[in-house]
Amino acid sequence: MVDITHKTNTLRQATAQAIVKVSSQKTIDTIVNKTVPKGDVFEIAKTAGLFAVKRTSDMIPDCHPLPIEFTAVRYEIKNLEVFIEMEVKTIYKTGVEVEAMHGVSVVALTMYDMLKPIDKGIEINAIKLLNKKGGKSDLKIDGLNLKAAVLVVSDSVSARKSEDLSGKYIVEKLKGLNFTSVDYYIVPDEITEIQSQIKKCCAGGIDLIISTGGTGLSLRDVTPEAVKPLLEKEIAGIMETSRNYGQDRTPYAMLSRGLAGFIGKTLVLTLPGSVKGVTESMQALFPQLLHVFKVREGARHE
């Protein structure tokens, strides 16, 4: 199965459709009047569909087992066609469109099985996904023309004694989120130099500054010390989200002293120095964090 361990739980919804077409009005009347010999077609087919949704991962090899938290079956009769809709919801790491399509297919097939003794001309048509919602694809925000800067805080990288990997990862990640520009800076572990570079970025109209390094449990947590007095509005929930995400994957995430907040109109994030810490933080926060800039733009135009 595809690895989804890096994903976060979000509300996932999907609605699928199938159409059962019968050959005569007599069959429709028999369904509506509940006189089909095998029983109440709509109720039995609905029950079969509910079982099918919950057993999808047993039938489709690459589907993940997941908690089904809501399922609904709806019918609508139009002439000689019965339109079936199956809606499925969960709060999980992956979507439920296959579950919805599997469920609606079994509803249709159950109807076929129950009606075939009285109607030899039944067809199942138009099994398809009508819509799906949830996941990071719904959180992308385009058209804001955002500029970013990545600040690597490291004596050894600054002195060219070691190579930076974390900062370069952040740069590539931000480029993939369609930032119009991503500047890249390296500074030593000195509070005054960190503050100076951050102030220059803010003055230059940068929307997002992400630093990497200097946030661990050490004698000199230089990045938090440098950034905290500059922040005009701290947003604690951002780093709480990052730490909670990391804690599910490594027990050391709780030691991070990262900060997040605004300096004027610039959002500043201080991330760990390790590649693993940076990767998990970026996975935890983006693209949903970009919503803060949409809120900021709305506030500008009020």
Of 3, 62, 113, 221, catalytic: 113
Is residue 150 within a helix (H) or strand (E), and if so which, with residue range? strand 147-153
Report the alpha-carbon distance of residue 132 to residue 128 in Å, rounded.
11
* Token pair belonging to 73: 């079956």
- Is the Cβ–Cβ distance between 68 and 6 less than 8 Å? no
Q: Among candidates 265, 194, 263, which has minimal Cα distance to 233?
A: 263
Q: How far apart are the first and last CA of the chain?
A: 47
The residues that bridge with 271 in the sheet, in sequence order, are 212
- Is residue 113 annotated as part of the catalytic site, yes or no? yes
- Burial (0-12, 13-18, 19+ Cβ within 10 Å), 79: exposed
Is residue 152 within a helix (H) or strand (E), and if so which, with residue range? strand 147-153
CA 233 to chain centre: 27
Report the alpha-carbon distance of residue 243 to residue 289 in Å, rounded.
15
The residues that bridge with 17 in the sheet, in sequence order, are 85, 128
CA 124 to chain centre: 34
Report the alpha-carbon distance of residue 132 to residue 177 in Å, rounded.
22
- Which residues, other chains included, contact 52 with Cβ-Cβ below 8 Å and sequence gap of 6+? 59, 102, 103, 105, 106, 107
Residues catalogued as catalytic? 113
